[in-house]
Structure 1
Amino acid sequence: MFGEYPAIKIVAELEQHNLLPAILFRTSRKQCDIDIEKLSGARDLELNAERSKALVLEVEKVVEKYSFEESVVYNHPHYKALLHCGAGAHHAGQLLIWRLLLEELMSRGVMRLMVATGTVAAGVDFPARSVIITAHSKRGAEGFNVLSAAELQQMSGRAGRRGKDAVGFCLVAPSRFADARVVLEVSRRQVEPLTSAYFAAPSTVLNLLKFRNVDDLKYTVSKSLAAFLDRKHAAGMRAEAERMQDEVLSSQKQSVEQKKKSEKRVRRRQREADALEGRQERYLSSALNGLEKLGHLEGASLSAKGYWAAELCTSLVLELAEAIDGGLFYDLSHLELIGLVGSISGDSYRRYFSLSANPIRSELFAELSEHVARVKNTYERIAPFEVEVVPDAALTVITWAQSESWEEFSSLLRLGGVAEGDVARLVTQAADHLNQISKLHATHTELARTASEARRLLLKPPLSEAYLNE
């Protein structure tokens, strides 16, 4: 049995049975890229002259339609594989330009195979005749977990093209990672119930306090889906506690000691229900208390610091506000501001460019870390995500700001084994944070001007502002 079912064999088998075009789902970006590299060298799968010419023509049309940077497309490492066999890798490690190109080509019917990660299945906006599942599980924060019914439905739902196919085909490529019996069992499950991702995050609460008072926020939280679901689950827990209580009262066989234990379980269940029912309101209360500790609130109203900080409509509003209030961002060059903001815009677990000396002084990173730690300690129990200072992220955005072209920059990324998509996301997030700082012209005039110029240095083709707004 295969460790990973070979993409070359999959394409050959599907073509033999007229089941192309197809979407091949893999569990990692690396596997997607490996598939494309192997397909690029498969002589038996080379497109004939007519299909190759049609593909090139459609590529030119897409490039012209969206005004893509030609060098980004034609110099992409997978471009030759695309022309060779009509296959491409679609995952978050690729530039948005490349993913949009592949989506357009797939929709136009000139591609054979799209290799994608299962995590982007919900975002795939094009159908295929067939879908290939190559794993019945995916990696999560705590190891590998079997696919949920919703995840499998998202992937299998791509099979079948409206107006072209009477039926779509979802196939399982057997391997030690893909047990068709497990996939069949998951396909028979009911889709998981809707849950809420709502969270009264401190940054959101601060932004909302520009327009609403505390009572308005409490009302909004009470009417949220999260609060509704909490109340629903709490009611179920109370009903369970009542049943347990009835059993204790009606039981004639339990000893006095057993009844005491049973009544203790009932009381614990009731306390859990009470805690669940008031959870969202407690989150809001914790957010407000933290904002007061950080100096954004005076009583139930925004302080002077809170008013200008509330203009920063970003997930890093608290971290940026602390750095600004502490004077860290004053008297910095454009590149230093880009670097410091970029250092908290990325993810600590991702690889960024690190093959040259970092121009940011270590004491600046240390001071920024203190501001980040202050926010973290204030919201230790309810922080929605972890913010860390990542020096390599700072070096990456500075290197991009100094690069003459994406072609020059991407060659450095390949040397460092850095995914272009991760860097593009880092750059655009840093640019967004700088854009928010640039709105503080009324209270922090010089800083706002520096931030505006720093943002301009980052947003250049293919990450230009005009393209990102499309």
Structure 2
Amino acid sequence: MVRPARPRHVEVIDHLVERGRLPAIVFVFSRRGCDDAVRTCLEHGVALADPTAQRRVREIAAQHLAGTDAADRRALRYDEWVDGLVAGVAAHHAGMVPPFKEAVEDCFAAGLLGVVFATETLALGVNMPARSVVVEQLSRFRGDGFALLTPGEYTQLTGRAGRRGIDDVGHAYTLWNPYTSFHEAAHLVASGDFELESSFRPTFNMAVNLIATCRDRAQAVGLLERSFAQFRANGRVPEWADELDDAKAELARARRRLRQLGGSKQENRTAAAARRRVETCERRANALTGRIGLAEGGLARSFDAITALLEELGCVRGWSLTDSGEQLRSVFHDTDLLVVLALRSGLLDGRRPAEMAGLVSCLSYEHRSRTDPPPPRFPSTAVAEAAREIESLGVDLNVREERVGLVQTRLPEAAFFECAYAWATGAALEDILGTGERPAPRRHGRRPARSYGRGAPSEGSGDGAARGGLGLGSELTPGDFVRQIRNLADLLSQVAKVAQRRETRRSATAAMRAVDRGVVAVATRIAGAGPAGAGAADESAAVRPSRSTLTLTPATTSRGTPAHEGDS
């Protein structure tokens, strides 16, 4: 008896070509998987584009990368990426820089590509219909293990199959794998259970804007209670209560298992897995408790807790705003209150543009990798102390939030400081991410090149940047780096708008302009608006960061070792 095996990507392409079902999108739930799939196609000689299409994709790629220099293109592995486009195959995922993704979308929309290997982000907000969609597997990793796709997710992916006005029918494939039964697959395909959940919750910024625009608390609470989040919560309390009972029972079992292994201080892998299980169960139980609280008037209670905390911190006085509260109105970020507290404490005053970029990155960057980042380095003891003070503000805010029952603001994270500082001083992209030439795709001599012609039709974290990068840079993909810098530029523009001291506004504006360059500027242009339009351009005159030698010394925030004394 022959045991079934998951079809290889090259075999899937053969099948689609033979049946005239290209172009196709193949959904692969990891960045690394998408990149590896393209590389495998090149190694096996897949060629889905004719000479005319090859010339056009080169032109489109060059247009999207206009404005980048040779060093940036080398760091981005531009030539390797173009090799895939010329062959008619491409990857599309969040680890790619926006110009790469936009070029892939344009080439695919123009009918120049046969296959795109994409993560699920392509199914959200990107208009790229295809004749066929292939879902590599029906389960995906969700932080603490693999889980089956929901009916809504499956429909979102397969809904890309069939181009309006071109195809009479779209084709959706699911590849066999040993971890999903036919019964599960059939149930998923046939299900009509599409539930939309809301992640809405009051924020500090929202609270001060409600206070500024509503005549009193009753009007503000009335607006909150008419939200979709409250509507969805009201009818699901019994269901959530049952789930909470199950979650508490599972948490009790997980804690009992951890005690049997010797408790939380054990360092072996089994105990570590047990600790992670306890943490997962605690998060689930807390989330369900929060949902039930929301349904029982939780939005109003959250708003009251937020306004009380804002009054305690001097941002609100009665039903009016202080100067700090007015600042908070214009800060739109998940660390909104921390930004205002850092400004009020003077921690961003007197900073050179590169130092400003680095310190604000402590507020804009969120480390999501399961591995710990390398210890941060700072240009001086004074800057290291400022980073520690910003973190201390975060710790204090978390204590206050926990006391009044609010969701805690994420703590500042200095891991990206070194990259932000280096980029603001003019460092090259390849120096930050690290250079390392990857060998050219190996061609399998035993099989001929596939020349189908145009008319025949890893979060994983990707391969990561090459070795030898600067600090955290060696762990980032180019797309991750550009996204973090764009987030930083956006927050710098807000600091430049709300800071009370003119020198601080000018430094933030100069820092914003310093980081908005090269491939970041190209990505900003594609997005349609640059951070410089945030309203602080008048502060930038005569303040320009100089290209300087990057001198950073090891120092960590208060969770690590102290900075070296005497750093310059």
User: Where does 1:30-429 land on structure 2 (aligned, <5 Å)?
Assistant: 30-43=32-45, 45-47=46-48, 51-61=50-60, 63-64=62-63, 69=68, 75-76=77-78, 78-177=80-179, 179-213=181-215, 214-233=217-236, 276-350=295-369, 358-359=378-379, 361=381, 362-380=384-402, 387-403=410-426, 406=429, 409-412=432-435, 413-415=465-467, 416-429=474-487
CA contact (8 A) 1:353 1:396 kept: no
For 2:561, the equivalent position in structure 1 comes to none
1:379 counterpart SS class: helix
Higher relative contact order (CA 8 A, sep 6+): 2
Going from structure 1 to structure 2, the CA distance change for 1:12 and 1:417 (only over 3 Å counts) comes to: farther
1:462 aligns with 2:462: no
Structure 1 gap segments, 5+ residues each: 239-271
1:114 counterpart SS class: strand
Equivalent residue letter for 1:228: F
Cα RMSD after superposing both structures? 3.1
For 2:544, the equivalent position in structure 1 comes to none
d(CA) in 1 for partners of 2:406, 2:104: 37
1:375 counterpart SS class: helix
Number of residue pairs the alignment of both structures matches = 433
d(CA) in 2 for partners of 1:70, 1:164: 39
d(CA) in 2 for partners of 1:286, 1:70: 51
d(CA) in 2 for partners of 1:427, 1:127: 31
CA contact (8 A) 2:64 2:102 kept: no
Going from structure 1 to structure 2, the CA distance change for 1:210 and 1:4 (only over 3 Å counts) comes to: farther
1:210 counterpart SS class: helix
* TM-score, normalised relative to structure 2: 0.69
CA contact (8 A) 2:240 2:292 kept: yes
1:414 counterpart SS class: coil
d(CA) in 2 for partners of 1:13, 1:68: 40
CA contact (8 A) 1:203 1:316 kept: no
Percent identity, please: 22
* 1:339-370 Cα distance to aligned partner (Å, 9 max, x none): 11112212222389969954364323211110
In the TM superposition, what is the alpha-carbon distance from 1:458 to its structure 2 partner?
Answer: 0.8
For 1:257, the equivalent position in structure 2 comes to none
Going from structure 1 to structure 2, the CA distance change for 1:417 and 1:279 (only over 3 Å counts) comes to: closer
Going from structure 1 to structure 2, the CA distance change for 1:231 and 1:389 (only over 3 Å counts) comes to: closer
User: Where does 1:436-455 land on structure 2 (aligned, <5 Å)?
Assistant: 436-440=494-498, 443-455=500-512
CA contact (8 A) 1:81 1:88 kept: no
CA contact (8 A) 2:58 2:86 kept: no
1:435 aligns with 2:497: no
CA contact (8 A) 2:25 2:116 kept: yes
Going from structure 1 to structure 2, the CA distance change for 1:191 and 1:73 (only over 3 Å counts) comes to: farther
For 1:254, the equivalent position in structure 2 comes to none
For 1:25, the equivalent position in structure 2 comes to 27
d(CA) in 2 for partners of 1:9, 1:451: 53
For 1:263, the equivalent position in structure 2 comes to none
Going from structure 1 to structure 2, the CA distance change for 1:65 and 1:461 (only over 3 Å counts) comes to: closer
CA contact (8 A) 2:25 2:134 kept: yes
Structure 2 gap segments, 5+ residues each: 242-290, 436-464, 468-473, 530-568
CA contact (8 A) 1:130 1:159 kept: yes
Going from structure 1 to structure 2, the CA distance change for 1:274 and 1:404 (only over 3 Å counts) comes to: closer
CA contact (8 A) 1:136 1:179 kept: no
Equivalent residue letter for 1:460: R
In the TM superposition, what is the alpha-carbon distance from 1:288 to its structure 2 partner?
Answer: 1.1
In the TM superposition, what is the alpha-carbon distance from 1:83 to its structure 2 partner?
Answer: 3.8
Going from structure 1 to structure 2, the CA distance change for 1:409 and 1:237 (only over 3 Å counts) comes to: closer
2:78 counterpart SS class: coil
2:90 counterpart SS class: strand
CA contact (8 A) 2:54 2:87 kept: no
d(CA) in 1 for partners of 2:490, 2:188: 40
CA contact (8 A) 1:90 1:99 kept: yes
Going from structure 1 to structure 2, the CA distance change for 1:139 and 1:386 (only over 3 Å counts) comes to: farther
Going from structure 1 to structure 2, the CA distance change for 1:355 and 1:371 (only over 3 Å counts) comes to: closer
* Bigger mean CA deviation after superposition, 375-384 or 211-220: 375-384
Going from structure 1 to structure 2, the CA distance change for 1:374 and 1:86 (only over 3 Å counts) comes to: same
CA contact (8 A) 1:105 1:111 kept: yes
Equivalent residue letter for 1:425: R
1:427 counterpart SS class: helix
1:389 counterpart SS class: coil
In the TM superposition, what is the alpha-carbon distance from 1:76 to its structure 2 partner?
Answer: 2.0
d(CA) in 1 for partners of 2:81, 2:117: 14
d(CA) in 2 for partners of 1:398, 1:38: 37
* 1:228-265 Cα distance to aligned partner (Å, 9 max, x none): 23334469999xxxxxxxxxxxxxxxxxxxxxxxxxxx
Going from structure 1 to structure 2, the CA distance change for 1:395 and 1:466 (only over 3 Å counts) comes to: same
In the TM superposition, what is the alpha-carbon distance from 1:198 to its structure 2 partner?
Answer: 1.7
CA contact (8 A) 1:159 1:170 kept: yes
2:367 counterpart SS class: coil
